[in-house]
Amino acid sequence: QVQLVESGGGLVQAGGSLRLSCAASGRTITRYAVGWFRQAPGKEREFVAAIKWPGSKTSYADSVSGRFTISKDNAKNTVYLQMNSLKPDDTAIYYCAADQWGSGGGSIDPYEYWGQGTQVTVSS
């Protein structure tokens, strides 16, 4: 079993930055794909970014491409989401998820493990 814990959320003004962390325990996630998803009130959970294994190929939703960066620190068993130029539309609960088969991607289905989420609020 893999446990995922997100941190780093908070309240920030538009144009600001936050870095979210997703710390894994229970197993090393070196060979896992890890994704970030978000869910705003009244909306469905949507894909934000993912990093696959092998090769650490990254993918992003169009809405965050060029502003957000996903990265993985295998030594710390942690995945990060650097969020720059934040907009009010980025306000949501952000979840990280892990896929033990490494494929990951933008669909929710492949991900077996999920964290509890961290709130990000961007004020205008």
Which tens digits make up the pLDDT trace of 72-116? 999 999 999 999 999 999 999 999 999 998 888 888 888 999 999
Which band of pLDDT confidence, cut at 50, 70 and 90, is reported for residue 47? very high
Phi, psi of 89 (to 5 degrees): -65, -10
- Provide the 8-state DSSP code for 90: G
| Angstrom distance (rounded) from CA 35 to CA 52 | 8
Rounded mean pLDDT, 61-78: 96
Residue 21's alpha-carbon distances to 4, 42, 44, 94, 124, in angstroms, are: 10, 25, 22, 10, 24
Asked if residue 56 has pLDDT above 90, the reply is no
